[in-house]
């Protein structure tokens, strides 16, 4: 089993107090010291904190300002390319989620997720993988332009070259399988499946913005 890495410090950019408290509670439960969790609900202050602390894990709520938060993710990845960025948003905002991944986010959580689902998504990212759900997989595959595992974004028409396993994972997830079921069907470990999803996200992030 892959070890769980705990990159510090952490920056929470969240304007919903109750959800911010939930995230802090989950992170402390994982093993993070509370004093290393920095929180803000203002993007201007977030920019200052990014420069001051260079956090290694950032959770950013895109609902604060969709355009500004995507821009902030992009700027952050230029300053600190190795930082783990988790987008926080509402379900069914798939295009916005894709934009966040293209800007450099490695994963996401939804406001509607249960505490267990949030915990699982964060753990997936911390052990070097990434989460995905069927709607996002379908969205990515909807831009397929050839029968080969090559997809492109509708906005940019720039191809993303996927490996055979990356393409197969997207296909299986889009059909409704969860990642454990995908691992069993492909005779691959869950951690390798999550790693291939992260690789897919990296390829999306390589598209020109």
* Residue-wise pLDDT tens digits, 82-101: 899 999 999 889 999 999 99
Helix (H, G, I), strand (E, B) or coil at 148: coil
- CA separation for the pair 133, 159 (Å, rounded): 22
In CATH, 10-126 is 3.20.20.80: no
Residues 5-47 have pLDDT tens digits of 676 689 999 999 999 999 999 999 999 999 999 999 999 999 9
In CATH, 135-205 is 1.10.10: yes
Q: Global pTM?
A: 0.88
Domain boundaries, given as residue ranges, for the chain? 10-126, 135-205
E-assigned strand segments in 126-167: 150-152, 159-161
């Amino acid at each position: 089993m892959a070890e769980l890495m705990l990159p510090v410090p952490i920056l929470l950019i969240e304007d919903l107090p109750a959800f911010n408290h939930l995230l802090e509670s989950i992170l402390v439960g994982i093993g993070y010291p509370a004093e290393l969790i920095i929180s803000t609900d203002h993007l201007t202050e977030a920019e200052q904190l990014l420069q001051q602390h260079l956090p290694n894990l950032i959770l950013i709520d895109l609902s604060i300002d969709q355009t500004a938060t995507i821009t902030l993710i992009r700027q952050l990845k230029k300053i600190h390319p190795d930082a783990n960025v988790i987008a926080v948003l509402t379900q069914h905002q798939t295009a916005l989620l894709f934009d966040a991944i293209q800007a450099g986010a490695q994963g996401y959580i939804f406001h509607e997720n249960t505490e267990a689902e949030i915990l699982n998504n964060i753990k997936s990212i911390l052990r070097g993988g990434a989460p995905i759900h069927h709607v996002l997989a379908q969205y990515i595959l909807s831009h397929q332009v050839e029968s080969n595992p090559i997809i492109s974004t509708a906005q940019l028409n720039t191809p993303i070259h996927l490996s055979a396993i990356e393409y197969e994972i997207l296909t299986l997830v889009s059909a409704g399988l969860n990642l454990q079921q995908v691992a069993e069907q492909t005779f691959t470990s869950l951690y390798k499946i999550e790693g291939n999803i992260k690789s897919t996200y990296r390829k999306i992030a390589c598209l020109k913005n």
